[in-house]
Structures are given as structure tokens and as C-alpha cells.
Amino acid sequence: ATLTPPTLTFAYNVKSGSQVYTFKNYASTSQTVTSLELSDTTDYSITSDTCSGKPVASLGTCTFTLVYSAKGMGYLNTQVSVVQTVNGTNTTLAFAGASAFVTNGVSAPAVQFGAVIVYPQTVGSGSGTLTVTNTSNTYSLSKLGISLGNETGQSGGWQLYLGSCAGATLAPGASCSATVTFTTGLCSGGAGSCYAYATATVTGTEDKAVSTQAAVTCFVDEV
């Protein structure tokens, strides 16, 4: 099963918005969606839900709308999960991530992620490019570091290759690219049984000696 779009970033310092999501069932049988869950229910909510409580046929789809309305400041991130409950046990059929950044206007985040790995598949291995951009108009970004954490998966794993980000100092507006890979066997079991993920975190220091960081979740949907 998939949830599209898998990642979403609202424009910098925008405090409201919405996005229609599409859930698609790739299982050979119908799947009943019990609920839609958000890890942040303060800044995000769901409307126009055609998924919850309804069976979705094999290769069928349903939709819902994620509504963003900032109540806080800084990074406002949420995981959007499509959940099925059978005999009291919850199973995540698919999930996606949404993020936003709200500031009081004093400073802007210096790190912004570009393309993120999202690689549905059943066998083999895969990789994705992680692009880091210094979005400051004034300050360079030095002491750049990228690390992987919160890794999940069985009999397999994630790897990070720094590429052009290794030892890089990014001038205002400049970018570098790293590669995140995963090996076969991150998940075991049947269709929709596992969503393996890792969090890539970027750290750096601006010219004004203020440290900054951003994080994004890379995940594999093994169907």
C-alpha cells in the first residue's frame, strides 16, 4: 500500500495550507481502513476523509485532506498514518510525512532538504539522493555533518554516503548531495507487514556561530 504524496513540505514561514492524500491498496484482497492518525494533532488535522471505516478494494484508492494550521513555532512535523485494526491489533498500512517551519522573522533556517528517498519495492536494494541547501541569503554554512539514526529493519540496514557534502562549506544558496541506501531484507513477512525507516539529520554552523539542524525520515514500503 502507498500514501501519496509520501513527503510534503509547506513553504517557509507559511502558517496554513492543505494537501489531498491518496491511499492505494496494492494487496491482493481488500483492506479496511480503521482510522487515520497524526503524530501532531495541534498543528494538523484531517478533513474530507473517504478512507476511514470503508473497505478499499485491491488496487483501489481513497482520499483525505491534511489541513495545516500553525499553532507553534519552529519545525512543525507530523507523520500521517493509515491504520487498520483487527482483533485489537493496529497495523500501519501506509504512512507519509509532512513538515513546516514557522519563525518570528528574526532568523531563517539555514538547512533545507531537497529530494528524499522513498522507495517502495519487494526485493533488491535501492538508493536515493538527499540534497542539502543553505537557504540563508547572508551566511555560509560550515562544519556540515549528516548522520543516520532511529534506524529500523530486520536482517538489513541503511547506509549513508556523504558525496559532495563531505567536508563541504556551503555558501548562501549553495547545495550538496549525499546518498542514502538500503539493502534487501529490511522487512520480513507478508504484504504491508513492515515500514522500515531511518532519520537523516543535518547539522552545521553559520557564520554567526549559530548551530542549525534539520531532519527528514527516509522509509521503505515493502509491499
| Per-residue pLDDT at 58 exceeds 80 | yes
Question: Which residue matches cell numbers 512543525?
Answer: 76
Name the phi and psi angles at 26, rounded to 5.
Answer: -95, 0
* Cα(175)–Cα(13) distance, integer angstroms: 21
Supply 97's cell numbers.
Answer: 510525512
| Structure confidence by residue, pLDDT tens digits, 90-126 | 888 988 888 887 765 444 445 554 434 444 444 456 6
Q: What is the pLDDT of residues 121-172, one digit of tens each?
A: 444 566 777 778 777 767 778 878 887 766 665 445 677 888 998 888 888 8
Q: Averaged over 60-72, what is the pLDDT?
A: 94
Task: State the alpha helices, DSSP H only, in 26-177.
Answer: none
Query: Quick one: which of 17, 165, 177, 178 has its CA closest to 101?
Result: 17
Compare 201 and 3 and report the one with higher pLDDT. 3
The distance in angstroms from the start CA to the end CA of the chain is 6
